[in-house]
Amino acid sequence: MEVRIGIKHSPRELSFEIDATADEVRALIEKAAADDSEFLSLTDSKGRQYLVDTDSVSYVELGAESGRKVGFIN
């Protein structure tokens, strides 16, 4: 699933693929916000870790589960 995180005062967004479901990612984000954690920690499908300052998050977009495309698209 694709995750996009908008960062305050930054023209670009953080975008990566993650193996977790939308509900799991949402629970992690809500827990970090509720606990007043300094950082939100997420790991992508390739094992890279992302630490995002929770005060700097302006939005989070959770994409749909997407399978790999095979063949030609007309």
Per CATH, which fold does 2-62 belong to? SH3 type barrels. (2.30.30)
Domain ranges in the chain? 2-62
Asked whether the CA dihedral 24, 30, 45, 12 is positive or negative, the reply is positive
Tens of pLDDT along 25-46? Answer: 999 999 998 998 999 999 999 9
- Mean of the pLDDT values across residues 5-23? 93
- pLDDT tens-digit profile of 49-69? 999 999 999 999 998 765 566
Mean pLDDT of 7-13: 93
Residue 59 near residue 10, CB atoms below 8 Å: no
